[in-house]
Structure 1
Amino acid sequence: MKKIIINTLFLFFAVVFLFGCSQKQIQPIVSFSPAQFDINKYQVKADNIIILFDASSSMSGNNFMVAKEFVNRMAQTLPEMGQNCSLISFGHSQKFSINSIEELLPLEKYSSKKLSNSVNKITFAGGTTPIFKAFDLVTSKPKITGQTALIIISDAKGMTSKVEISAQSLKEKYGSSICFYPVLTGDNEANAGFMQKIADIGKCGFSSNANELLTSNEMKSFVEQALITLNPDSDNDGVFNNQDECPNTLAGTKVKSNGCWAYQHILFDYNNSEIQSNHHVALNNIVEIYEQNSFINIIIEGHTDNIGSDKYNIKLSTKRANAVSDYLVDKGIPLNKITCAGYGFSRPAVSNDTKEGRSQNRRANFFLIKIFN
């Protein structure tokens, strides 16, 4: 009886132990809400995205689930911006395919839905790990134009020097126009080292661990680093180059949404040269610009509407230009940096035929001239 009890206890603890081990193998995957990108602020970094997906037997269980989830979450995060995408799987259970290589998604215009549908077709893992054949398939195809990101998702088990040779051949074909992004499933250090070797062969790109990329923030970071990039703003005026109608803006310049200076003139009341307080912000911006760009000269042009004589309006327009000059000098801009001129009503901005038109012509225009010694 005692022996039966001992055997029963042994069996009980053995089951508990095995159950605990199985629990360690299947880890819960963190919840996910895809990050959203404002595509007006980004441009494509990778014109072509080629994904090599390991569906071999060593990927069974948690690794297989994580690998598929990585692709699905990347598809949910990566915006559709006209880039191309392809998915090639290798390995395979006989239940899924009798072929060791399958091009599940030929290179075509990227669609989030199509990418997810393609990876979700792989329902079983099995077979060996002929990843070198996947590299060779990409190498054998006609050369594609633009920048290419090659994403390799694998546990790296069973990989040999054949993989390095095939990766090198692909790199030699494409040179600097292709970058390798190995993504490891699992936490084997030796396999992580092998994936790093693949990244090093690419000479650009980087190696990652899939488990660390499943959160919203980390997936967003991966997409930003590997696949898209912020639009450049060469003059740092807050307007991206592709939307900037006035490039090479001077530092300190307050600009409109099109990248052009927000303050190019101020208006005056009828028959008046006094600067209204609501125009101080425009003139203060000239001061800000000068303080950061002391090499500039400032031209101020005074103008009037067409009421009154030419002689009177020349005098009034000159007073308006001088009023602006006096304001700027009081703020610290040297007088020798300023040139004033009054043009009367000879250069209307709009027609003087209406009251509104005449109010727009009672103005002083500013021009900032870059002077380099």
Structure 2
Amino acid sequence: MTRIRPVLFTCLVAVLIFAGCAGKSAEVFVPSDLNGSIRTGHLVQKADHFLVILDCSGSMAELYDGEKKFVLAREAVRNMIAGIPETEMNFEAGLRVFGLTMNPFVESTSSLVDMGPLDKAAYDKALDKVTFATGKSNLALAIAQSSDDLDRTTGEISLIIVTDGKETDGEAARALEVVKNTYRDRLCVYTIQVGHDPNGQKLLERLSRKGQCGYSENLDNVNSPKAMACFIARGLLKKGPDQDEDGTPDRIDLCPNTPAGASVDDTGCWQLTGLEFKTNKADIAKEYYPIMDKAICVLKKTPGINVLIGGHTDSRGPDKFNQELSQDRAQAVMDYMVKKGVAPERLSVQGFGAAKPIAPNDSQEGRAKNRRVTLTPIAVQDAESADRQ
């Protein structure tokens, strides 16, 4: 794994978990499981509260892709709720609709789920009430009322608007400005457009920009399990803490002080990734020199650390032989680094034999991974203290 610099979080962890974030949904929606990513610390909760505004106005009775738009919108929200992970999550959630009135000439908005601890079953039951779409498309009214829905919230808020973007009064952006001014940096706005009305798209993109920390998406791009998981990861979750920014979250990082530019394994420890040793051999083939050159470059850019070079073997062979072989592998790396200009006093070696496997030894692939060399950074002052003891 190559160290990753901080960037704008755009589904970073989702890239690791699922390949792609778009596509048509299957007949039976089975949500992608994000709970594993929560347990490893790759993802953590970002929003404390989220409120969905669902468009059930007259324009949502129109057909899109062979189905009424309100049905597609309703099921998208249902799929989102189903896909929200439950491990270590503590969301408060609400659902507001506009339209859904028997009088097509009336402006109407109502809360189907009042803000409170997320109850997936109750939320799902509330969505069952969305059986038709009629009434004026007054998105501004629903946005204005959302301010009251959120009045008792104290943490970060995700406002999620699902609509075709067709509004009757043109006041949605102004209404959102008022809400944004009330909740300021606590509020992010995410929009999902049903259909491809160009004016609707412009409106929803404008709304998400006013939120300053959300984004706008089309239903076509969130209607598969992987794509919806991506939307959830971006809208409700965030990348977990990674103090040394090596791409391995702190929760599972066994080596939390990896220097910048270092390649790490799945446990977050500096390793000469790609360097392989043949069975019972300690010599290093020329093809692996660039791997060591990269580590040398990191060392030269980080003069404040020394390095313990650790040699490892697979589990085959006697313990004494493996201990000596692992020591020889570590020494081979040190010799190369010294030859390339690294001061020998910055380097030390230790053979660990087969004592620290990173993969099962019951397969050829696993054994190959275990025949490796690791690099453990040691602060210069710590190394000097150890030498005096």
Query: Smaller-chain TM-score range?
Result: 0.5 to 0.7
Q: Deviations over 1:315-356 (max 9, x none)?
A: xxxxxxx99997665333368542799xxxxxxxxxxxxxxx
Does the Cα contact within 8 Å between 2:189 and 2:214 map onto a contact in 1? yes
Q: Name which of structure 1's ranges 59-68 and 190-199 shifts more when overlaid on structure 2.
A: 190-199
Aligned residue in 2 for 1:119? 127
Pick the aligned partner of 2:30 from 29, 33, 44: 33
Equivalent residues of 2:96, 2:146 under 8 A apart:
no
Deviation at 1:232, TM superposition (A): 4.1
Q: 1:105 aligns with which of 74, 98, 113?
A: 113
Within 2, Cα distance between the matches of 1:340 and 1:125? 71
Q: Unaligned 5+ residue runs, structure 1?
A: 1-27, 263-276, 301-321, 342-365
One-letter amino acid of the counterpart of residue 98, structure 2: F
Q: Residues 275-354 of structure 1 correspond to what in structure 2 (within 5 A)?
A: 292-294=298-300, 295-296=303-304, 298=306, 330-333=335-338, 336-338=343-345
When structure 1 is superposed on structure 2, of 322-331 and 47-56 the one drifting more is 322-331
Aligned equivalents of 1:206 and 1:367: distance in 2? 40
Q: Secondary structure in 1 aligned to 2:220?
A: helix
- What is the aligned-residue identity percentage? 22
TM-score with structure 2 setting the length: 0.60
Q: Does 1:154 align with 2:135?
A: no
Q: Does 1:205 align with 2:211?
A: no
Rounded to whole Å, the distance in 2 between the matches of 1:60 and 1:369 is: 66
Secondary structure (helix, strand or coil) at the match of 1:338 reads helix
Name the structure 1 match of 2:61.
Answer: 60
| CA drift at 1:45 | 2.5
Partner of 2:14: none
Question: Residue 368 in 1 paired to residue 373 in 2?
Answer: no
Change (3 A) 1:278 1:298: farther
The CA distance in 1 between the partners of 2:121 and 2:92, in whole Å, is 13
Q: Within 5 A, what are the aligned runs for 1:173-212? A: 173-212=182-221
Per the alignment, do residues 193 and 278 of structure 1 end up closer, same or farther by CA in structure 2, a change over 3 Å counting? same
Q: Distance in 2 between matches of 1:288 and 1:93?
A: 66
Residue 135 in structure 1 maps to residue 139 in structure 2:
no
What is the TM-score of this pair, normalised by structure 1?
Answer: 0.62
- 1:129, distance to aligned residue in structure 2 (A): 2.7
Residue in 2 that maps onto 1:87: 95
Amino acid at match of 2:222: L
Q: Residues 122 and 165 (structure 1 numbering): CA distance in 2 closer, same or farther, change over 3 Å?
A: same
Superposition pairs of residues 266-281 of structure 1, within 5 angstroms: none
Letter in 2 for 1:57: G
Tell me which amino acid in the other structure corresponds to 2:53: L
On the 8 A contact 1:49/1:84 being kept in 2, the answer is yes
Deviations 1:47-67 (A, max 9, x none): 211101112222225111111
Q: Is the 8 A contact 1:85 1:110 kept in 2?
A: yes
Closer, same or farther in 2 for the Cα pair 1:242/1:332, shift >3 Å?
closer
> Quick one: structure 1 residues 337 and 159, their matched pair in 2 at CA, closer, same or farther if it must change by over 3 Å?
farther
Q: 2:373 is matched with which residue?
A: none
Is the contact between residue 287 and residue 328 of structure 1 (CA under 8 Å) also seen in structure 2? Answer: no
**RMSD between aligned alpha carbons?**
4.0
- Structure 1 242/186 Cα, relative in aligned 2: closer, same or farther at 3 Å? same
What letter corresponds to residue 141 of structure 2 in structure 1?
K
Whole-angstrom distance in 2 between the partners of 1:254 and 1:327: 20
Q: Which has the higher contact order (CA 8 A, sep 6+)?
A: 2
Gaps of 5+ in 2: 1-23, 63-67, 272-279, 309-326, 349-375, 382-389
Q: Is the 8 A contact 1:92 1:99 kept in 2?
A: no
Number of matched residues?
A: 284
Higher alpha-carbon deviation: 322-331 or 175-184? 322-331
SS in 1 for 2:190: strand
Report deviation, 1:286. Answer: 10
2:225 corresponds to: 216
Q: Does the Cα contact within 8 Å between 1:325 and 1:340 map onto a contact in 2? A: no
Equivalent of residue 239 in structure 2, options 230, 239, 257: 230
AA in 1 matched with 2:127: V
Is the 8 Å Cα contact of residues 297 and 337 (structure 1) preserved in structure 2? Answer: no
Change (3 A) 1:91 1:369: same
Aligned to 2:354: none
Counterpart position of 1:144: 153
**Residues in 1 aligned to 2:189 and 2:77: alpha-carbon distance in whole angstroms:** 16
Counterparts of 1:221 and 1:158, CA distance in 2: 28
* CA deviation map 1:17-62 (0-9, x unaligned): xxxxxxxxxxx97533322222232112322111011122222251
Q: Secondary structure at the match of 2:337?
A: coil
Shift in Å, 1:101? 2.5
**Which letter does structure 2 place at the counterpart of 1:72?**
R
In the other structure, the counterpart of 1:69 is: 75
Q: Deviations over 1:250-291 (max 9, x none)?
A: 35476784x5679xxxxxxxxxxxxxx79999xx99998555
Q: Which residue of 2 aligns with 1:353?
A: none
> Structure 2: how far apart are the matches of 1:73 and 1:340?
54
Query: For 2:330 and 2:220, how far apart are their aligned partners in 1?
Result: 64
Please tell me the residue identity of whatever aligns with 2:226. Answer: N
